[in-house]
Structure 1
Amino acid sequence: MGGAHVFCIHSDTLSPNNFFKPLPSEFFPFSAQPIVEYLFFSVRVYHKNARLLFFCDVIVVWVEAIKGRYNLHGGERKKRNLNSTHHTLPMRIVIDPEVFSQDFMPPAILHRESQMNTLKLIFSKGTANVLLFGPPGTGKTTVAKYISEELSKVKKLSRVYINCWHLSTKSAIFNYINMQFGILAPRRGVSKEEQFESFIQQFPKNAEALFILDEVDALKDGSLYDMLRLKEVYSLRTSVIAITNVPNFLARLDARARSSFSSAIEFPPYKPNELKDILRERAIPGLMPNSWDEDVIAKCAGFAAKYGDARMGISLLYNSALIAEQEEEKIKVEHVEKAKKQTLIYLVETEKQQLGENEKKVLSIIEGAGSIYTTEIYNKVKGLSDRAVREILDLLEGKGFIVLENVDNRRIARPRFKV
């Protein structure tokens, strides 16, 4: 090891070739290029911001440790022999996991041109309050963030994104907004009205702000109306894009809040061919070339179309890639089939964590029954009024957990997912 060259690589010049060149050839009685490429992609994905990445001694330790354990020849991976103690390097298929995250912003928004054009037209005329509604996974949040970014390019605009599941009260919302604008917050223990007044008094009169209220149906204590009236009552240059999955959300609002929205824009479920385009646009930057084919894309799109949720297809494609990596093969339809159940369970359980105790209680009753008349649910839930249960059922339908159907003038609830 004493003859190893010590060197470093800066991220702006990093590639498999310059990672490989400084290594002395006497250390490699076989081709080491696959090892270097594997290490390079690992570093590139997980250490994007590092300026000093690796010392040569570390590479040499790697090579010495794996020389006897990996079957390499001429830079090509041999077919794995399951009866052998020798194994090949793990096959890398996913090259950018961020592409498959729910927070990823694609460079182009596909199949939502009509909704985006409508939003651009609305905001070209000034500030406005707009409601985006539609089932889960139909691009509402992505479009809202994209439009807000586009608007900020043509005018000075402060953008604040709020997930109302996490910040659902007036106190929490305006405390968060005050922090975003550097507004001096009142001392701890003050009322929510004092926090609200603090924002009103200190918000710059010449400033313009756009608030994105995601999962707006989770808001409590009149918070939505307070946000909507900033423009009308206090003459502040503020806009609101409210996002909901609940179909009849607008009808549930009181007349004052309902009249504060200038427009309501529907986001219908994606069609199967549209889902294929969306998944293909994630696969190209996120997966190794030639690691997937159109059959895989079609299978994932079909799964997503069944639930009307693009997120299902994106997560399924990612999980299929991980399974294919473990089996050291390119992604096949068989991998997609294997990944379906774990994808469904993960997404459903993740969404369930955001539900309150009463919502979980009602959902548990429906899941246990498989199919149940809503009048029976009213009798099973203790301590809640019929109206409260109806609102929970509407919320669960909007979140995509259940399906509500009218049969012989009676309402039936059943789980949307079977895992």
Structure 2
Amino acid sequence: MSTATVAKPTAQQPGKGSRRFSLPVLLLIIAGVLVLTSLARIISGADGITSTGQMSTALRLAVPIGLAGLGGLWAERAGVVNIGLEGMMILGTWFGAWAGYQWGPWTGVAFGIIGGALGAVLHAVATVTFNVNHIVSGVALNILALGTTRYLSKFTFEDAPQGSSKQSPPIDSLGTFDIPGLSSWLQTLNEKHWFLVSDIAGLVGGLVTNLSPLTVVAVALVPATWWVLWRTAFGLRLRSCGENPVAAESLGVNVYKYKYLAVIISGGFAGLGGAFLSIVASNVYLDGQTAGRGYIGLAAMIFGNWMPGGLALGAGLFGYTDSLNLRGGATNVHALILLLGMLLVVGAAYLLWRRRTVGGLITLVISAVMFLWYATTDEVPRQVVTAAPYVVTLLVLSLSAQRLRMPKADGLPYRKGQGK
């Protein structure tokens, strides 16, 4: 009776100062963004910003970011900051390509997970057992992973056919598939360029067109993570280690064990994201292939307030901006400047309604700059398109910082019996 009384608030209380949108409000916000996006598409004539191909590419680019974010979520919910996600992804790309080239793509996927988990073991030993600063350990792991994979590539891929010291030979594809009937119907509807209807068709069509089996697995891991962490006793114990490990220990939870498990699972997710990059996204291993996606995944997790659903939205946003590099980038980013101006007007109206006059006026000025930029140019420089994912990362984190609530013991050192 007393145990349930203590555990229940820990499982359900979001924390002081945090504001979590209810599902109806969140759906209303998404609908509003879709309406403004459709309006921006019609005004600018940039039909590509909501095309089925654009959304399909965005999904493919969002998957490794989302997997890295899920890895960060597991570790940080247990109280371990995982800056080493980038290094674990790097290990996943190399191990996935090495095994995939020799024994097939699915074996490569398994080895990618193992590679990321091996990096996570090093991070767990340093942070959990020896109480090394989590940031220092993560940065060291990133450097170690980069150097290790470059060294291994020199005598593994260099002498292989079509390989080199910076690239693996081609890996067999996992294949892709469409949902019969639905994909072609949504594609046809999207090509009509109707207001809102075609945009929704493009969004949904991107989710059911040209899918890799690994993409389906990755998307399914988001609700699976929510269910395990928020609907099982195992998840409650793991999250208690990130909120109050001393209290968890007093209730009989083996804090060390759960922290180790969480970090190793975290590495497995990051390694899976790396394997996706080398096996699905590009079909080869390339030196520098992750391109900071581990860090962007961590940003997506923070944007999502350490929750799987918000993390998925953040990964989708970053994947979409990244996809602009591949499909009509300059024209589409120019249209997004108009969309950003519209969103800022809405944001300014909200701030003024909340009587935050200074913030509202500043937001209005910035929106006016966006409209002026759009009106006086036909397209944006290529450098702006390339930098878009990283600029969005900074903007999203800065704008959402006031609503964040991290686990209370995240990153704090813990020793068994310290509460006695």
For the pair shown, the structure with the greater C-alpha radius of gyration is 1
| Same fold per superposition (TM over 0.5) | no
Higher relative contact order (CA 8 A, sep 6+): 2
Task: With the length of structure 1 as denominator, give the TM-score of the two structures.
Answer: 0.25
Structure (1 or 2) with the greater helix fraction: 2
TM-score by length of 2: 0.25
Which has the larger strand fraction? 1
